[in-house]
Every structure is written in structure tokens, then in C-alpha cells.
């Protein structure tokens, strides 16, 4: 059995016929997520066992989050405003829709303020959906891959309890990295940090006595930096430095991912509803991610019989890092400052001018550090530049200072 299903932003040619073909073979698609409510009726008329998920797409999410942070009352009003945009249609079609998603990808790591807003809205979404659309279950925590950090899960405990009580699901997005046709889908380290991060959170919640369902609302291969980290959100499986449109390679990834799904505790307990393969649409963009014919037909072949796909060879083991010498006095100080800033919720060492950053770098160099400086934009893409090259032009909004592949501290303009 495959856990993969369709992520439909718009109807595409023959998507329903492919569902029919799988159902008639006795292997129906496990899940379908769509951006229009009426898709649920089509899916359920083909296969009652297929989980259906609706997402209401909006461009501006921040007003809902900002309002939710004010108070529970305002959070409920924000959730009402969001739900009422689709509640009439959803209630009319509720027998065909199992789940409806909350706001999308609102959980950044190391940003406690944004996390609190997201949790406040998601809790209100659960409360108000039970009133406004009582026959449909909520999907919350639709977090982007790699978020939130492993040591930040405590903030999700109350949300998870309320989600479980509502029969809802957490909706993590589990993309895996592929770099120049080298897939990290079977890499234990990358699985822990990206595609199976949700399973680590699941174990954390189980230890608290909580068992939520899981709707992995976006899934698939994605580009990344040279080591498979720093995933690139616009680089899908068709891009030349990802799978370059190699259908065999991508299907092998799905086979490996399905093995991990099946072995997970949520999979074994029947709490994993499925993973929707991003994305199918007409004229919406995301060209490097497109799931459409002829690949869609091969995906259905795989859903029906996974033996049509050749497994990937076992990956090379994750490299063992070289032993590191003891930290210098400056490194110890910088690390202590970083930890203290994180504990107190500060966002960095605030400096007023480029000269101040240059002064600090000079002091670092005097300590013999081999520094790499990363601007806020480059940090997202995993690029690094030497200190001497990083200060040309206007000082960036944020500068991250790394040493030995670990972040020591960062600067922000005041």
C-alpha cells in the first residue's frame, strides 16, 4: 500500500480517471487534497476509503495571526472570519470532506513570537470549526519542512491535546532533499531533520500521552544545498539539479518513503492518513513540481503495484565529522552569548553600523577563528562567503557568523 495521493490546486486532465483506475484495481488512492470543496464529492463517489482534505487558499495570513495573538476572544473571531469564507459550501458538502486545513506554513523555528501566534490561531480554529462546521475535522500545524526545532516541541503540547480530542490531524510538510539526482530520502540524519521529522514529534507527543492523526499536506522531492540541507522551496523534482524530470528516480523515492511511512508508529497504528504529492495544477506556477500526465499515469501504476518501481541503492552512510579541537576562549564566549540570547528570546546581537561588525570580525580574526559570514538571504539558500567579501556594499539586515559548521552568533541592524 502506498501512502501517497494527489495535491490538487486546480483540476488537471484525467485526475478523476486515474483515481477510478486505481480503485477498480482494488488499490484506491489513500488521500486527495484539493483547493476546491466539490472535489471531495468526486473522490468519495470513486472511493469511500480515500481521505479527502480541503484547503482554502488565501494570500494574506498575517492579519489572522496578529489578531489571534491578542486574546482567546480575538483568536476566536479571527478563526470565525477565516472559516466563514467557506463554511456554507463546506457544510453542504461535509459528507464528502474529511478534513479542512488551517493557515499554511506559519511555524518558523527559533521564532517564539510567531509560534505563539500560530498556536493561538490553530487552537481557535479547532474550537470554532467544531461550532461552524461540526462534521469536518481540523488539520493544524501545517509546518514547513524542518520546522519547528526539535527542542521547541513543548509549545505544541496543548494544541496537540485539543487536536486529538477533536479527531483532527497535524499537517507537517515532509519534503526530502535531492541534489543532482542524489536522493537523501534514506539518509537517517536528513530523515530526522526533514522528511520524518514529524515522526520524532509524534514520539514526543506519545510520551505526553497524546496521539494525533497525521495528514502530510505537502510532500515530495525538493532541491537543497550541496549536503542536502538548506532546502530550496522553489526547486521541485523536475528541476535540472534535482531529479531533472527523471520519473524512475522520483518513483524510487516514493517507494523508499512509503517504507518509512509503513514502519512509523503512526503508520502501524493507522494514524497516518497519507501524504499529498505537491503539486497538480493548471496555470498556477510551481512548474518544477508538476504532477500530471504522463507521470500521473505512472504514479497510478505505482499506487496499484509498487513492484513496478526499482528501489534505490542503499545510500552512502552519513559522513562522520572529524574530531574538533577544544573551543577557543572567544568561541566559548560567543556560544554562551548565543545560548543566552535564545533563552531570553532575543533576536541577536544588535549593532548600529557596518563598522561595528567589522570591528567584531577583526577581534574574531585576532583570536584565530576561521569565520564564514552569511547574509540573511544567503542563509536561506545555504551559501557562505568569506568575511572579507561579506562587507561590500550595504550591511545586510542580518549577518550570521558560523564556525566549524555551527552558528556561533548573529548580528542585526538596530
C-alpha 70, offset from chain centre: 26
Which among 96, 152, 98 has a CA at the least distance from the CA of 129?
Answer: 98
Q: Report the pLDDT value the prediction gives residue 381, as an integer from 0 to 100.
A: 38
Range from 138-142, 214-218, 304-308 carrying the lowest mean pLDDT: 304-308
pTM of the model: 0.77
pLDDT at 400 over 80: no
Q: What is the pLDDT of residues 313-324, one digit of tens each?
A: 665 665 555 555
The domain spans of the chain are 4-308, 329-413
pLDDT (tens digit per residue) in 89-143: 999 999 999 999 999 999 999 999 999 999 999 999 999 999 999 999 999 999 9
Query: What confidence score (pLDDT) does residue 369 get?
Result: 54
pLDDT at residue 224 above 80? yes
HSE (side-chain half, CA atoms, 13 Å) at 157: 10
In order of 188, 278, 280, 288, the CA distances from 224 in angstroms are 16, 16, 22, 14
How far apart (Å, rounded) are the C-alpha atoms in residues 143 and 154? 15
- pLDDT per residue over 148-196, tens digit each? 999 999 999 999 999 999 999 999 999 999 999 999 999 999 999 999 9
Q: Which residue reads 544567503 in cell numbers?
A: 378
Q: What is the pLDDT of residues 338-371, one digit of tens each?
A: 555 545 544 444 444 345 555 655 665 555 555 5
**Which pLDDT does position 360 carry in this prediction?**
58
Query: How distant is the alpha carbon of residue 57 from its chain centre?
Result: 17
- Dump pLDDT digits (tens) for 257-287: 999 999 999 999 999 999 999 999 988 889 9
Domain covering 4-308 assigned CATH 3.20.20 in the classification: yes
Contact status, residue 107 vs residue 144, Cβ threshold 8 Å: yes
Q: Which residue stretches of 221-304 are H helix?
A: 247-263, 265-269, 295-304
State how far the Cα of 248 lies from the Cα of 312, in Å rounded to an integer: 10
Average pLDDT, the chain: 85
Mean pLDDT for the stretch of residues 375-380: 45
Q: Is the predicted pLDDT of residue 218 greater than 80, yes or no?
A: yes
Instruction: Decide which of 266 and 381 is more confident.
Output: 266
First to last CA, the chain: 54
| Cell representation of residue 104 | 499554511
Q: Which residue has the higher pLDDT, 140 or 376?
A: 140
Residue 169: strand pairing partners: 139, 213
Q: Cα separation of 169 and 167, whole Å?
A: 7
DSSP code at position 38:
T
Look at residue 308 in the predicted model and tell me its pLDDT. 75
Residue 278 near residue 7 (C-beta atoms within 8 A): yes
Give 24's contacts (C-beta < 8 A, 6+ positions apart): none
pLDDT at 361: 59
Amino acid at each position: 500500500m502506498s501512502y501517497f495521493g494527489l495535491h490538487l490546486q486546480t483540476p488537471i486532465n484525467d485526475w478523476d480517471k486515474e483515481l477510478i483506475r486505481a480503485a477498480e484495481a482494488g488499490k484506491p488512492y489513500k488521500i486527495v487534497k484539493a483547493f476546491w470543496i466539490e472535489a471531495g464529492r468526486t473522490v468519495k463517489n470513486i472511493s469511500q476509503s480515500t481521505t479527502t482534505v480541503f484547503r482554502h487558499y488565501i494570500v494574506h495570513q498575517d492579519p489572522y495571526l496578529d489578531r489571534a495573538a491578542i486574546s482567546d476572544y480575538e483568536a476566536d473571531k479571527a478563526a470565525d472570519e477565516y472559516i466563514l469564507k467557506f463554511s456554507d459550501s463546506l457544510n453542504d458538502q461535509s459528507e464528502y470532506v474529511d478534513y479542512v486545513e488551517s493557515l499554511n506554513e506559519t511555524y518558523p523555528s527559533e521564532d517564539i513570537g510567531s509560534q505563539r501566534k500560530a498556536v493561538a490561531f490553530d487552537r481557535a480554529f479547532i474550537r470554532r470549526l467544531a461550532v461552524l462546521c461540526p462534521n469536518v475535522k481540523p488539520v493544524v500545524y501545517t509546518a514547513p519542512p524542518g520546522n519547528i526545532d526539535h527542542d521547541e516541541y513543548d509549545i505544541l503540547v496543548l494544541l496537540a491535546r485539543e487536536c486529538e480530542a477533536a479527531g483532527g490531524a497535524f499537517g507537517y510538510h515532509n519534503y526530502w532533499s535531492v541534489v543532482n539526482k542524489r536522493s537523501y530520502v534514506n539518509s537517517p540524519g536528513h530523515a530526522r531533520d526533514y522528511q520524518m521529522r514529524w515522526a520524532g514529534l509524534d514520539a514526543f507527543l506519545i510520551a505526553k500521552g497524546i496521539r494525533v492523526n497525521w495528514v502530510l499536506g505537502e510532500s515530495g522531492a525538493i532541491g537543497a544545498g550541496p549536503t542536502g540541507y538548506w532546502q530550496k522551496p522553489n526547486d521541485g523534482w523536475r528541476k535540472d539539479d534535482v531529479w531533472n524530470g527523471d520519473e524512475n528516480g522520483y518513483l524510487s523515492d516514493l517507494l523508499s518513503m512509503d517504507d518509512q511511512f509503513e514502519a512509523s508508529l503512526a503508520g502501524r497504528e493507522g494514524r497516518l492518513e497519507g501524504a499529498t504529492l505537491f503539486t497538480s495544477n493548471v496555470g498556477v506556477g510551481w512548474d518544477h513540481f508538476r504532477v500530471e500526465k504522463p507521470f500521473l499515469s505512472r504514479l497510478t501504476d505505482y499506487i496499484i503495484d509498487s513492484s513496478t518501481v526499482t528501489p534505490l541503492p542503499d545510500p552512502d552512510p552519513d559522513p562522520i565529522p572529524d574530531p574538533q579541537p577544544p573551543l577557543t576562549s572567544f568561541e566559548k564566549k560567543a556560544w554562551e552569548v548565543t545560548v543566552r540570547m535564545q533563552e531570553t528570546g532575543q533576536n541577536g546581537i544588535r549593532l548600529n553600523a557596518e563598522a561595528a561588525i567589522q570591528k567584531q570580525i577583526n577581534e574574531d580574526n585576532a583570536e584565530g577563528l576561521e569565520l564564514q559570514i552569511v547574509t540573511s538571504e544567503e542563509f536561506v539558500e545555504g551559501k557562505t562567503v568569506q568575511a572579507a567579501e561579506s562587507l561590500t556594499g550595504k550591511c545586510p539586515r542580518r549577518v550570521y557568523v558560523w564556525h566549524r559548521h555551527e552558528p556561533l552568533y548573529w548580528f542585526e541592524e538596530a
